[in-house]
Amino acid sequence: MEFSLLNSFVNAAKLSLKLIIVITLLMIAYEFFENSKLYTKLQSILERPLEKVGFTPNSSITMVVGLVLGIAYGAGILIRNAMSGKMSGKEILLSSLFLSVCHAVFEDTLLFVAIGGNGVIILGTRIFLAITVAMIITKYVKL
């Protein structure tokens, strides 16, 4: 019993260390990325594909932040934009549903790869489902 408990503790510690390393490196990289011209350029590049799914330029930054950093940061920007009137009710719903399905794509994918998952399948499935949900909402929900 003690051997199993000790083994579990060691494995949990190793996994925790991997997670700490991945998350720390991603956050450091994002801090540099956020202050670069590439960030602005990437936002303008993503604006057109996001519009095809149903997002407006007002919601594009919410999507970029939510996809890269996660739902908490994306939701913070979503709330700020919603309260300032920059996003319509439909944009708020669409962004919320999209980010519910597909958020923190790099971090989550790397975390699952660290424990043995297939990153391509995980990332592809999440993006496909999120786009499908967004397109259905755009087409059928009238707000």
Task: Report how far residue 8's alpha carbon sits from residue 81's, in angstroms, rounded to the nearest whole number.
Answer: 45
> Quick one: DSSP state of residue 102?
S
Find the domain containing 19 and state its range: 2-140
C-alpha to C-alpha distance for 94 and 137, rounded to whole angstroms = 7
Count of domains observed in the chain: 1
- Nearest CA to 106 out of 80, 56, 68, 79 is that of 68
Tell me phi and psi for residue 84, to 5 degrees: -85, -5
> What pTM, to 2 d.p., does this model score?
0.65
Per-residue pLDDT tens, the chain, 143 aa: give them.
566 888 889 999 998 898 788 777 766 776 787 678 887 787 788 778 888 888 877 777 788 778 887 887 778 778 888 888 888 888 888 889 888 888 888 888 888 999 999 999 999 999 999 989 888 888 887 76
Q: Which two tokens stand for residue 121?
A: 């399948």
